[in-house]
Amino acid sequence: MNFIEGGVCAARGFRAAGIHVGVKTHAAWKKDVALIVSDVDCAAAGVFTKNVVKAAPIHVDLNHLADGRARAIIANSGNANACAPKGEENAQRMCAAAAAAIGCSPRDVLVSSTGVIGQTLRVQVVEEGMPALYAALERSGSASDAAAHAIMTTDTEKKEAAVETVIGGRTVRMGGIAKGSGMIHPNMGTMLCFLTTDCAISPEMIRKALLETVSVTFNRISVDGDTSTNDSCLVLANGLAGNETITAPGPDYDAFLEALKALCGLLARKMASDGEGAKHLITCTVSRAASEKSAETIAKSVISSTLTKAAVFGADANWGRVLCAMGYSGETFDPDKVDVSFASDAGEIAVCAAGRGLDFDEGLAKKILTEHDIEIRIAMGEGDGRCTCWGCDITYDYIKINGDYRT
């Protein structure tokens, strides 16, 4: 398995586009609608937010995915179409406009939105811009790039990746674009992720693979503790790689799952790294826990801790905040068995052993914590469980970004 270029256009038979149509009225130079289209019908699946308050596109997608098939994805930024007047009607109008251009049923189009909650979507500009959006479709990395930029809100950089592997003797490719910077928390966050693959796989198995993948990638990141109304991860598989269709667990499914996890893992880390106002990516690895689930719960608690995030921002090796976050995670463990160290490209330093502080070089610790990528390593002394989760620091800029996000 190798990472390759091309994003959502890396897989055979997929085209993409991203243009400005006017959803973002304050930034006419920013792309705000993306379209991804397969040449043929696809097996499809989706995973969505667990927030009780769900945006209109999610309700539409759940209905459209009932048969496990889809052909295209249309998405806009600049307006969440959540808790908004005529929400589902406008989401359906977006699907209908895309379907008319493509020549398929509106039920074969999936839809997503991201942006401000509670405001009516100017769906007419999407409809009016559809001819130009469809005309812009290309099979190229630049087209995937345009689509990736069209779904960005407070993101400072695009999230895009692709992988290539061999399944059943055939070369299989999969790619993805994602957005997410704030309102990111386990059970997904304000994230959209669109995945494409030319692998032949049944709707049942691709849904199984997506659920398994999301649980160990997108559900293991946190920026600010907020789970959004719009979180969606959608995948289309058109089968053009020509492999024997995956219909049951086995070596081919395992190879598909490995590639999907690698792809989504990279996209998840890109989101955590680009947290609103963030200066550091925090990787928390918990080992020797009672179980993987216990390790996951503890790691999530640490990356979600506001005080730990603030300490990382200040390059302060305040390991007590790490133990504190572990202690209120809900997991039972013996604090007197816990070891903690901080690591980065600048080195590693042990700061706590057997639950007690160590004398350590504060200068070296600050140097380690000044790097962009920081790792918090925790050894529990409880068993063989292990898990890694990702987060980011919290900075003054986070408040600036969110203090006037709507106005």
Catalytic residue set: 190
Contact status, residue 281 vs residue 372, Cβ threshold 8 Å: yes
Contact status, residue 175 vs residue 162, Cβ threshold 8 Å: yes
State how far the Cα of 163 lies from the Cα of 222, in Å rounded to an integer. Answer: 24
**Angle, CA of 198, 203 and 206, to the nearest 5°:** 65
Burial 112-137 (b: 16+ CB within 10 A, else e): bbbbebebebbbebbbebbeebbebb
- Tell me what percent of the chain is helix, strand and coil, each rounded to the nearest 5: 35, 30, 35
Contact status, residue 299 vs residue 220, Cβ threshold 8 Å: yes
- How are beta strands 69-77 and 109-114 bridged, if at all? parallel
CA distances in angstroms from 179 to 86, 176, 309, listed in the order given = 25, 10, 21
